[in-house]
A and B are shown apart, each in its own frame.
Chain A
């Protein structure tokens, strides 16, 4: 089953613009994570936000979590061509051993 649903499915922006991706989920969670995947290779962990946190920053990344709406957003500021990748949200079940990934957002940043 798919826990996280993301939108948009694809996003194309110019370099320097901000990119916002959204994720919705269905069940209660301990944490929500965001990952980046380049060209169908391994996923890179970007940021983890716990259920008792509302906002978290890491460099050009800003993640928000609204547990009442069961949703999260990932903001990438001042995007670069190197940010071109697929971005997945992931939520945990079963005490954190069963992480379910959303469908992903494919981001294309034009130079």
Chain B
């Protein structure tokens, strides 16, 4: 299995909703990442988990809450989002760090209304 699977592919949520994005990989990768990408912009790093521990938080607002239940799963819990949080959310994984490249999921297209 050489894929990163993200669900759902599309999500529309209200500003008072709570939702979660899910990411799964079975490549034995020990680092997992969340990126946010706005239209026609490059991906921006949000969080990095290394060996299931949060190692980097790029000053992301607390309405985004990551969770890594085990080495194969990564969640992003969303609460009280703003319309400007609408974006493509990408999950990625790598062996350890980026020295061998990253495998990305197809992303979740999030719209906040």
Report A's interface with B, CB cutoff 8 A.
2, 30-31, 33, 35, 40-45, 48, 88, 90, 92, 94-104, 106
Contact = CB atoms under 8 A, between A and B. Distances in A.
29 contacts: A2-B42, A31-B99, A33-B101, A40-B39, A42-B4, A42-B6, A42-B90, A42-B107, A43-B90, A43-B102, A43-B104, A44-B104, A45-B101, A45-B102, A45-B104, A48-B100, A88-B42, A88-B43, A90-B98, A92-B97, A94-B56, A95-B97, A96-B99, A98-B45, A99-B45, A99-B102, A100-B45, A101-B43, A106-B40
Nearest to B58: A98
A106 B105 CA distance: 20
Contacts of A42: 4, 6, 90, 104-107
Contacts of A31: 98-99
Interface of B: 4, 6, 31, 37, 39-45, 48, 50, 55-56, 88, 90, 92, 96-107, 109
B32 to A, nearest CB: 11
A38 to B, nearest CB: 10
Contacts of A106: 40
A64 B42 CA distance: 21
Given A40-B88, A42-B90, A96 B98 contact: yes
B107 A97 contact: no
Contacts of A88: 42-43
B12 to A, nearest CB: 16
A36 to B, nearest CB: 11
A101 B42 contact: yes
Contacts of A48: 100-101
A9 B45 CA distance: 21
